[in-house]
């Protein structure tokens, strides 16, 4: 009868809340019925089973991580078992090689090229089947996206398109150069939650939510409450 002595198991997914597409990820976690929180300070990492580093500008995120000494905190929590998913800029921060510049967290053996497609006029949407994640096609949104140009042998490539890798993972890290949080599809968020050992809602596994709109995140950023 010493249940109260059982150590609390990390059960939250955090979204790094420094800059970028924070609300969009939070909204997806909410749809999956997962407990989540915004992560801004060292103490916010406690009880995180997983952390999402959102899209944004990687130089800005890297600078803020360094100035506020969150980088080492994040690495410590990664060592205790916290999983990390980086979308777009987040993937750049997680890579251990960044073409032409210094790597930030270096947690996955791959080389990535910032802004691999060109300007905003080269941003695009497409779709693809990612077998490991779902049998249904997943909508993909690429915004000034990076390209993963090489992955090491311990890295499992989830999606390869033409001459680049668009999604990959190792035991503790997931990276996507596209933005699942900018589509109505929950498949990758669900996949990450399972990777973190959590139990996301199981309905609408990969089908795009019919009532999702690009403005859905705005319910978390209202002016008029």
Residues 72-101 that bind another protein (CB under 8 A): 88-89
Tokens of 118: 């060109």
CB 55, CB 179: distance < 8 Å:
yes
Report the alpha-carbon distance of residue 53 to residue 20 in Å, rounded: 9
Q: Which stretch, 6-14, 127-135, 191-199, 209-217, contacts another protein (CB under 8 A)? A: 209-217
| CA-based torsion, 61, 64, 66, 71: positive or negative | negative
126 part of the interface to another protein, by CB under 8 A = no
179 belongs to the catalytic site = yes
Q: Which stretch, 6-14, 74-82, 111-119, 168-176, contacts another protein (CB under 8 A)? A: 111-119
**Rounded to 10 degrees, what is the CA torsion of 169, 65, 181, 95?**
-30
**Of the candidates 64, 73, 128, 208, which one interacts with another protein according to CB under 8 A?**
64
Q: Which stretch, 71-79, 104-112, 148-156, 216-224, contacts another protein (CB under 8 A)? A: 216-224
CB 107, CB 172: distance < 8 Å:
yes
How far apart are CB 110 and another protein at their closest, in Å?
A: 18
**Of the candidates 35, 72, 81, 123, which one interacts with another protein according to CB under 8 A?**
123
Catalytic residue among 77, 179, 189, 196: 179
69 belongs to the catalytic site = no
How far apart are CB 14 and another protein at their closest, in Å?
A: 16
Residue 45 half-sphere exposure, CB side, CA atoms within 13 Å?
A: 19
CB 21, CB 221: distance < 8 Å:
no
Report the alpha-carbon distance of residue 80 to residue 76 in Å, rounded: 7
59 part of the interface to another protein, by CB under 8 A = yes
Our CB check for another protein shows the closer of 50 and 90 to be 90
How far apart are CB 172 and another protein at their closest, in Å?
A: 25
Task: For the beta carbon of residue 107, count every other beta carbon within 10 angstroms.
Answer: 19
25 belongs to the catalytic site = no
Q: What would you measure as the largest C-alpha separation in the chain, in angstroms?
A: 63
115 part of the interface to another protein, by CB under 8 A = yes
Report the alpha-carbon distance of residue 66 to residue 117 in Å, rounded: 28
Instruction: Please give the residue ranges that form the binding site for another protein (CB under 8 A).
Output: 17-24, 40, 55-57, 59-60, 63-64, 67-68, 88-89, 114-115, 118-121, 123-125, 141, 143-144, 179, 182, 214-215, 217-219, 221-225
Catalytic positions, please? 88, 179, 181
């Amino acid at each position: 009868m010493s249940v109260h002595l059982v150590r609390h198991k990390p059960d939250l997914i955090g979204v790094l809340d420094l800059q970028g597409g924070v609300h969009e990820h939070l909204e997806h976690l909410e749809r999956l019925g997962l407990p989540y929180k915004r992560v801004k300070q060292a103490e916010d990492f406690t009880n995180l089973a997983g952390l999402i580093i959102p899209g944004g500008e990687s130089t800005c995120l890297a600078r803020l991580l360094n100035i506020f000494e969150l980088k080492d905190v994040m690495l410590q929590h990664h060592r205790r078992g916290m999983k990390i998913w980086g979308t777009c800029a987040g993937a750049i921060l997680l890579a251990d090689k960044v073409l032409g510049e210094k790597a930030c967290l270096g947690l996955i053996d791959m080389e990535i090229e910032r802004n691999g497609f060109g300007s905003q006029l080269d941003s695009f949407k497409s779709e693809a089947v990612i077998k490991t994640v779902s049998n249904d096609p997943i909508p993909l949104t690429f915004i000034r996206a990076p390209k993963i140009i090489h992955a090491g042998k311990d890295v499992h490539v989830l999606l390869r398109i033409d001459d680049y890798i668009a999604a990959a993972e190792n035991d503790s890290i997931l990276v996507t150069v596209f933005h699942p949080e900018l589509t109505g599809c929950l498949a990758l968020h669900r996949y990450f939650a399972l990777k973190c050992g959590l139990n996301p809602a199981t309905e609408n596994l990969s089908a795009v939510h019919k009532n999702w709109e690009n403005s859905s995140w705005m319910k978390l950023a209202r002016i008029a409450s």
